[in-house]
Amino acid sequence: MKEYSKEELKEIYKARRNVLAAKLRETETGACVFVDSEEHRDPAVAYYTNHANDAVLVIFSDGYSVLIAWDENLAKQNAFYDKLVPFMRYKNEAKDAVKAILNACYTHGENSKVELPPYLTYPDYLKFIDALENYDCRCKEDGIHKFVVDCRMIKDEYEIECTKEAARIGDLIIDEIEKQVIKGKIKTETDVALLIERRLREHGCQRTGFDTLAAGPSRSFAIHAFPGYTAAEWPAQGLSILDFGVVYNGYTSDTTLTIAKGPLTKEQEKQLDLVQKAYDEALKLYKPGRPIIDAAKKCDAVFAAAKRKMPHGLGHAVGLEIHELPRVNLRATPEMLFKPGMILTCEPGLYDVEIGGTRLENDVLITEDGNEVITHSRIIRID
């Protein structure tokens, strides 16, 4: 992928914070608070600073940012901010840290209105209110934090580059899996899962995007097999599923391939053809300006014509989280459109206890004039 200097990255994160600051001024809000902790992970902290986790972030209406990090050394190494404060200074108490920062940096906010995270529990919210008695605290589901989620739907150049690199590495792993399956070197669900773990790190990725799901024919009827993988044969005769993602610089890919190992029954062949057709037809509608629900309707119509029904949505956005907004399903409103910069999965699937499961999933970047499929998962047939 394109190489970014530290200065270029600093400007990218600053530009994101400036967009938020403009929204704060528009809504006459002096500051906004984000809390990433074991109780609730908030990717907004990483989105605005590149800090991995466990921190409190305060961004003021002039764009000034204060990162209160549990791991100060890690933040100094990787994060982008205007001021760094160790969380231990406040005995790891978020309300005390926020109070101290608001008091010390009051000149950066145009007023005393502060937006708190809507994911605070009610008891924690009350603690913040007590601690910030001199501030006008807001805590709204449709407030600044929703605006941040909306911003994250449209990926900037750097986010697209990172996701494409995750996709490229994922493709390399898929190609190797196919070769090793043909040679008989992969024999179990555990074999393929551990291969993914090793290869992603050899290629500079940080982790899997989620727990790898490798299910042989005896378990592929499950949408998300539990446990994720076992010592069972993979792939065996019939339909086997592999669902995995790799994370590069915080951004994840998400792919599912099906291995069809013959001989197959007529019902299995028909299911493979149905999923491929649903994928091909729905993908045509992943275009800017098209209602997202249209793609979901098209997929369901393909399956309905064969008297089959998919038990999950057609797709979802990916990014700093494996499941982001928007979702591609029948609950999408007609006003929700595909927009340039969105990266979403297209993943039709069918599952049957007797037939087994089939899912085909790739990541799709919406462009100005269409789409770009950035991963290359597929249905792999093995004689």
pLDDT confidence bin for 378, thresholds 50/70/90:
very high
For residue range 113-153, list pLDDT tens digits in order: 999 999 999 999 999 999 999 999 999 999 999 999 999 99
Helix axes 266-283, 292-305, angle to 10 degrees: 160
Q: 229 near 333, Cβ under 8 Å?
A: no
The residue among 152, 178, 206 that closes a domain is 152
* Rg of the chain over all Cα atoms, to the nearest angstrom: 23
Q: Are residues 133 and 204 in the same domain?
A: no
Q: Is residue 1 part of a domain?
A: no
Give residue 359's pLDDT. Answer: 98
For residue range 46-62, list pLDDT tens digits in order: 999 999 999 999 999 99
Q: Is residue 121 part of a domain?
A: yes
Give residue 18's pLDDT. Answer: 98
Q: 364 near 283, Cβ under 8 Å?
A: yes
* Residues 192-198, mean pLDDT to the nearest whole number: 98
The residue among 97, 125, 152 that closes a domain is 152
Q: Are residues 200 and 83 in the same domain?
A: no
pLDDT confidence bin for 260, thresholds 50/70/90:
very high
Q: Report which residue type is found at 238.
A: G
Q: Are residues 228 and 325 in the same domain?
A: yes
Q: What is the CATH number of the domain that holds 108?
A: 3.40.350.10
Distance CA 26, CA 32 (A): 13
Ranges of H-type helices in the chain: 6-26, 44-49, 72-78, 94-104, 122-131, 144-153, 157-183, 189-202, 266-283, 292-305
* Residue among 198, 208, 197, 195 nearest 166 (CA): 208
Q: Are residues 70 and 192 in the same domain?
A: no
For residue range 7-32, list pLDDT tens digits in order: 999 999 999 999 999 999 999 999 99
Q: Are residues 63 and 168 in the same domain?
A: no
Q: Are residues 82 and 182 in the same domain?
A: no
Give residue 1's pLDDT. Answer: 87
Q: What is the CATH number of the domain that holds 280?
A: 3.90.230.10
For residue range 159-185, list pLDDT tens digits in order: 999 999 999 999 999 999 999 999 999
pLDDT confidence bin for 90, thresholds 50/70/90:
very high
Please give the C-alpha separations between residue 262 and each of 121, 217, 235, 240, 265, in angstroms, as whole numbers: 53, 12, 10, 11, 8
Q: Is residue 95 part of a domain?
A: yes
Give residue 55's pLDDT. Answer: 98
pLDDT confidence bin for 383, thresholds 50/70/90:
confident
What domain count does the chain have?
2
pLDDT confidence bin for 102, thresholds 50/70/90:
very high
Domain that holds residue 254: 154-382
Q: Are residues 138 and 170 in the same domain?
A: no
